[in-house]
Amino acid sequence: RAVSGKGKHRLKSLSDMLKGKQGRFRQNLLGKRVDYSGRSVIVVGPNLQLHQCGLPKKMALELFKPFVMRRLVEKGFAHNIKSAKRIVERVRPEVWDVLEEVIKDYLVLLNRAPSLHRLSIQAFEAKLIEGSAIQLHPLVCAAFNADFDGDQMAVHVPLSRKAQEEARTRMLSKYNLLSPAHGDPIITPSQDIVLGCYYISQVRDGALGSGKKFSNVDEAMLAYDKGVVAIQAPIWIRMEGEPQGKNDRENSVRVLSPSADGTPRMMLETTIGRVLLNNELLPPLRYRNRVIDKKGLREIIADCYQYYTNTKNLSAEEIAELKAAWPGKSETEMVRIFGSEKTAQQADKIKALGFKNATYGGMTIGINDIEVPQKKYEIVGNAEVQVADVEKQFRRGLITEEERYQEVVRIWQEATKLTIVAVKDNMNQFGPVAMMSTSGARGNINQISQMSGMRGLMSDPTGRIIEQPIKANFREGLSVLDYFVSTHGGRKGLADTALRTAEAGYLTRRLVDVAQDVIVTIEDCGTEDGIWLHAADDDELMEKLSVRMVGRILAAPLYDKKTGELLGDRNVEIDDDIAQRIDDCHIESVYVRSTLSCQSE
């Protein structure tokens, strides 16, 4: 029996002191509190570049104290370390100039707990700022899974030269643009940035200046500056270049004879907003003459990375410049770095454009933007009549209790679907609510339907659907009973989320412990074994075979069934081109290498 101390409090045994998260091993030996580190709340830094973070001055002074003291002695502000320490503690004006100098040579690491993947710790150049909160670039939030509702982040200073070098070459945020989970860019613009870009790329027929023709882009911009043309008005502009991808308006391109140097020219129906957007795109990514939503911005970032990491797209001069800048690195690695820098540059341009135009557009929602469609009352009335009919059949003994319940639930589910359609049809596509939803900035049609349609069916604490739906919406307001019924689902959702998080964390921990002994000893064990990837599993895995095989290595040569053409040899990595060819040949399964079939000792 455990020995209890005063107040029947169970005393810790020796094994209790060692085991668990608060035990000696996990608390003090495996993870410790460290010097040269700090922690603060994060706020958005909209003016930062992708590789920068804002570090509060007083925090930076404490983190870099020894370096500042040394530099004060070197510059003659103090005779010895003791007097330098006194100067720093009294925060004399010269301290800030010295700190500004010191901080240039160092990168800092930012970490947000829980650290679930390698992108949860990234390196940034520190910019000194006033205040007490760390400023974080909005595009790295997805990687850290951070938001600005009170999240905190830890800062660490790598000390040795080797640690600084590793932080600069491997951990800098602009070199970590791709997610280790799926290989697509993780720095996709979201929320306000998406809204701003969507707003300026929309076409509003009949807006001020619609149908006007301009001889070049500068003339059109002058007209816009003078207030003759609205930002969303459809206008014709003569310009160099060709449209990239599909246009969203019919007959919007008229090809003109090329210019003297052979550059293609066109007369294009576009808008001032789209001109502004394309001006911010790097030349190979222009001219996109369509509405740009969240998916469109994701495509721009992905296209940019793919274009600049492909050696075929770089001139001999550019490759020579890269070799001079990065001596000793392989061509692949140099191009990857170059592509990352270009993509970071592109992402920052989009960020600035999105924020600026979201502000100019002034899109915000008030209660009058949420309109209840008149059709809703008709839909609810019809559903009530159908339910009364089902109840009558039940009372006559024509159907069982379970059949009655199933039918009532089906009727209300159908009514909810019809209400969603009515809400969609009733929305003004240029209204802020519709723009936020259709652009992918925030919210979806189901949430809008709950605001202006009907909330629909709810679950009870056991998870069974309550057959009485909530016919009201948030615009009209819920009754006390409606509100009470809503709380079941809300509470269950929060409890489930908390349990799922803990479960996933524990599973990850066990997986990591199991895989601790698996180490890479040789590059290729030479085995002919592998695993099959089947197109038949697409639905179950919710991802097409052509997506799943990119990045895998072929375990055997792959031929086209019809022509016998070699699509890819053994030990060749499947890139996007090979994947596309495999997809075009309608190949149902691919044999690839896997660590599970490795033969190394």
The upper half-sphere exposure of residue 383, i.e. CA atoms within 13 Å in the direction of its Cβ, equals 27
Phi and psi (nearest 5°) for 329?
-100, 150
Which residue, 336, 361, 386, sits at the end of a domain? 361
Question: What is the structure's pLDDT at 1?
Answer: 62
The verdict on residue 500 lying in a domain is: no
Last residue within a domain, chosen from 109, 141, 174: 174
Pair 468, 410 in one domain: yes
Residue 570 is encoded by which pair of tokens? Answer: 């053994």
Q: What is the mean pLDDT of the chain?
A: 89
pLDDT of residue 597: 87
Percent of the chain with pLDDT over 70: 99
> Residue 172 pLDDT more than 80?
yes
Tell me the two tokens of residue 532: 């099959």
Q: Which residues pair with 43 in a beta bridge?
A: 135
For residues 64 and 200, membership in a common domain is answered with no
Tokens 């990239």 belong to residue = 244
381 and 324 belong to one structural domain: no
Answer yes or no: do 428 and 282 share one domain: no
The string of pLDDT tens digits covering residues 557-591 is 888 888 888 888 888 888 888 888 888 888 888 99
In this predicted model, what pLDDT tens digit does every residue of 276-287 receive, in sequence order?
A: 999 999 988 888
Q: Is the pLDDT of residue 5 over 80?
A: no
251 and 334 assigned to the same domain: yes
Q: Residue 29 above 80 pLDDT?
A: no
Give the pLDDT band of residue 53 (cuts 50, 70, 90).
very high
> If pLDDT is split at 50, 70 and 90, which confidence band does 340 have?
very high
Compute how many other C-beta atoms are within 10 angstroms of the C-beta atom of residue 576: 12
Would you say residue 203 has pLDDT above 80?
yes
Both 390 and 357 in one domain: the answer is: no
Which pLDDT belongs to residue 130? 94
Comparing CA positions, the residue from 274, 153, 286, 287 lying closest to residue 203 is: 274
pLDDT value at residue 10: 81
Q: Note whether 163 and 205 are same-domain residues.
A: no
CATH number for 109: 2.40.40.20
Supply the CATH number for residue 199's domain. Answer: 1.10.274
| Model confidence, pTM | 0.86
pLDDT at 70 over 70: yes
Largest CA distance in the chain: 102
Number of C-beta neighbours around residue 601 at 10 A: 5
- Together in a domain, 210 and 280: yes
CATH classification at residue 480: 1.10.132.30
Instruction: Kindly state the average pLDDT of the residues 497-514.
Output: 91
If one counts every other C-beta atom within 10 angstroms of the C-beta of residue 484, the result is 11
Q: Which of 24-33, 257-266, 310-319 has the lowest mean pLDDT?
A: 24-33
Question: Is residue 9 in a domain?
Answer: no
Same domain, 68 and 107: yes
Residue 450: its pLDDT value, please? 92
Tell me what pLDDT residue 121 has. Answer: 96
The pLDDT of residue 421 is: 93
- Tell me whether strands 134-136 and 37-44 are parallel, antiparallel or unpaired: parallel
**542 pLDDT more than 80:** no
If you compute the radius of gyration of the chain from its CA atoms, what whole number of angstroms results? Answer: 31
pLDDT at 2 over 70: no
Nearest-angstrom CA–CA distance, 418 and 425 = 11
Task: Tell me, yes or no, whether 405 lies in a domain.
Answer: yes
Are residue 163 and residue 218 in the same domain, yes or no?
A: no
The b/e string for 419-445 (b: 16+ C-beta within 10 A; e otherwise) is bbebbbebbeeeebbbbbbbbbbeeeb
pLDDT at 177 over 90: yes
Q: What stretch of H or E contains 17?
A: helix 14-18
Q: Can you tell me the mean pLDDT for 84-88?
A: 91
Token pair, residue 471, equals 């016919």
Q: Residue 107: CB partners within 8 Å, gap ≥ 6?
A: 123, 124, 125, 126, 158, 164, 167, 168, 171, 172
Sign of the CA dihedral 380, 384, 385, 390? positive
Q: Residue 535: which CATH number?
A: 3.90.105.10
Q: Is the bond preceding residue 591 a cis peptide, omega within 30 degrees?
A: no
Counted domains in the chain: 4
Name which of 437, 417, 441, 419 is nearest 428 in CA terms: 437
Q: Is 459 exposed, middle or buried (0-12, 13-18, 19+ CB in 10 A)?
A: middle
pLDDT band at 47 (very low <50, low <70, confident <90, very high): very high
Domain boundary among 361, 390, 421: 361
Residue 419 sits in the same domain as residue 285 = no
Give the pLDDT of residue 500. 92
Instruction: Supply the pLDDT for residue 72.
Output: 92
pLDDT tens-digit readout, 441-486: 888 999 999 999 999 999 888 888 999 999 999 999 999 999 998 9
**Position 370 pLDDT exceeds 70:** yes
* Domain of residue 561, residue span: 531-597
CA distance linking residue 172 with residue 166, whole number of Å: 9
- Domain contains 378: yes
Residue 449 falls inside a structural domain:
yes
